[in-house]
């Protein structure tokens, strides 16, 4: 009887599954054909060569659809796009970048459209393919998706001047010997320093008291990433707070500088997607090409290309992390400074940071 019941269930379900599979394939073929007629997709994304290698070349080679790419910082992308849209020019299809610009500029002004209706392929829609068993959206309308949440290397040090293994907590750098020996990315402006300060503020074992104590260590505040790293790498300062990716680059070049791995620290570190948030612009000029691009970007193939070109950890479970240090992989329970709540806290924190560190 059990075998008969199973057989009947299988025979009943099979046509439904086949119809469902056929439906998405037909929709995909229709959208893809329309996208090829459009011939182009326009993307705003991070600047530099690495993003282009991950976001432009593989897609063009696969589909023969031209990618028009504007690469810049969030501080440049937001004003430009909103100025264009206010003038009636809707020039862009896909957003790839940070969450601050997306949550504080783009979404409040209606620049993004709900993303889920554009998702077609089963491998993208299947929650089992994603960390946490779901796509991570940051807003209630599900317009902004997180592709690359990863642990941040909040603190780095000159390995000739600091015994990194002896640092077990961020509180260790409050010792008198480190006064005047710390460089910090300026927390009073958007960037890794502000993200670090937000993490310190949100952490129950650190908070505002830690930030005040850190300010009493008289850190050098800088807005130049290269300068910050080089000051520590050349031994003029001992400890760096904020920047991490450039530290890895300098370390590979042989400089005596290294990230204090978050797994060594009692407080860990926060999660950030860096420039790994994505959205579809509303009123896109190439709506079908935008759908094809987003389904590709969120596929295993697209995520592999993007994550490897940027040195990021993909939110997809089936994308290798062999190209990044093991400590980059997200740890359960880590503070997320990139959410709407994190942005709200950062906005409230900014006046305090100006009070603590000066204007």
Q: What is the DSSP track for 97-160?
A: E-HHHIIIIITTTT-EE-SGGG---HHHH-GGGBGGGS-EESSTT---EE---EE---EEEETT
User: 141 pLDDT exceeds 60?
Assistant: yes
pLDDT at 22: 82
In 3-state terms, what secondary structure has residue 41? strand
The model's pLDDT over 26-40, given as tens digits with 9 standing for 90+, comes to: 999 999 999 999 999
Could you tell me how far CA 136 lies from the centroid of its own chain?
12
In 3-state terms, what secondary structure has residue 171? helix
CATH of 153-269+339-357, one of 3.40.190.10, 3.30.420.40, 3.20.20.140, 3.40.50.300: 3.40.190.10
pLDDT at 69: 98
Q: CA torsion angle for 220, 222, 226, 231 (degrees, to 10)?
A: -10
pLDDT at 4: 54
Q: Tell me what the mean pLDDT of segment 311-331 comes to.
A: 97
The model's pLDDT over 150-191, given as tens digits with 9 standing for 90+, comes to: 999 999 999 999 999 999 999 999 999 999 999 999 999 988
pLDDT at 20: 62
pLDDT at 302: 98
> Within the chain, what is the greatest distance between any pair of CA atoms?
80
Residue 280's DSSP bridge partners are 94, 113
Phi, psi of 118 (to 5 degrees): -90, -10
Sequence-separated contacts (24+) of 332-337 with Cβ below 8 Å: 334/151, 334/268, 334/269, 334/270, 334/271, 335/199, 335/202, 335/203, 335/268, 335/270, 335/271, 336/149, 336/270, 336/271, 337/195, 337/198, 337/199, 337/202, 337/270, 337/271, 337/272
Work out the number of other CB atoms within 10 angstroms of the CB of residue 10: 10
% of residues, the chain, pLDDT over 90: 90
Q: What are the residue boundaries of the structural domains of the chain, listed by start?
A: 2-149+273-328, 153-269+339-357
The model's pLDDT over 279-303, given as tens digits with 9 standing for 90+, comes to: 999 999 999 999 999 999 999 999 9
Looking at the structure, give the CATH architecture of the domain made up of residues 2-149+273-328: 3-Layer(aba) Sandwich (3.40)
pLDDT at 113: 98
% of residues, the chain, pLDDT over 70: 94
Q: Tell me what the mean pLDDT of segment 47-61 comes to.
A: 95
Could you tell me how far CA 31 lies from the centroid of its own chain?
28
Quote the mean pLDDT of the chain.
94
User: 3 pLDDT exceeds 60?
Assistant: no
User: 1 pLDDT exceeds 90?
Assistant: no
Q: Please check whether residue 313 is in contact with residue 324, taking contact to mean a CB–CB distance below 8 angstroms.
A: yes
Fold agreement between 2-149+273-328 and 153-269+339-357: yes
Out of 18-22, 174-178, 246-250, 300-304, least confident range: 18-22
Band of residue 104 on the pLDDT scale cut at 50, 70, 90: very high
């Amino acid at each position: 009887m059990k075998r008969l019941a199973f057989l009947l269930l299988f025979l009943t379900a099979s046509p439904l599954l086949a119809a469902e599979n056929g439906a998405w394939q037909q929709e995909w073929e229709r959208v893809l054909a329309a996208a090829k007629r459009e011939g182009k997709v326009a993307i705003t994304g991070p600047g530099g060569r690495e993003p282009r290698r991950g976001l432009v070349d593989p897609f063009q080679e696969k589909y023969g659809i031209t990618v028009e790419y504007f690469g810049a910082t969030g501080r440049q992308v937001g004003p430009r796009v909103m100025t264009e849209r206010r003038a009636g020019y809707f020039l862009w299809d896909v957003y790839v970048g940070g969450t601050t610009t997306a949550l504080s500029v783009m979404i409040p002004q209606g620049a993004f459209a709900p993303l889920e209706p554009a998702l077609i392929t089963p491998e993208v829609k299947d929650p089992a393919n994603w960390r946490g068993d779901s796509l991570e959206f940051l807003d209630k309308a599900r317009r902004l998706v997180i592709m690359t949440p990863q642990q941040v290397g909040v603190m780095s040090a000159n390995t000739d001047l600091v015994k990194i293994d002896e640092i077990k907590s961020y509180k260790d750098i409050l010792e008198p010997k480190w006064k005047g020996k710390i460089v910090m990315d300026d927390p009073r402006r958007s960037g890794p320093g502000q993200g670090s300060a937000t993490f310190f503020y949100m952490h129950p074992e650190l908070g505002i008291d830690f930030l005040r104590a850190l300010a009493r260590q008289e850190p050098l505040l800088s807005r130049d990433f290269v300068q910050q790293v080089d000051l520590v790498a050349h031994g003029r300062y001992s400890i760096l707070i904020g920047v991490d990716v450039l530290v890895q680059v300098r370390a590979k070049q042989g400089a005596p500088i290294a990230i204090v791995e978050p797994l060594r620290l009692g407080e860990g570190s926060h999660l950030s997607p860096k420039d790994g948030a994505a959205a579809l612009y509303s009123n896109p000029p190439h709506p079908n090409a935008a759908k094809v691009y987003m389904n590709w970007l969120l596929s295993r193939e697209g995520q592999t290309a993007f994550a490897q070109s940027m040195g990021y950890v993909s939110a997809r479970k089936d994308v290798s992390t062999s190209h990044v240090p093991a400590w980059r992989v997200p740890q359960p329970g880590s503070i997320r400074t990139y959410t709407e709540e994190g942005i709200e806290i950062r906005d409230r924190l900014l006046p305090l940071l100006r009070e603590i560190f000066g204007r």
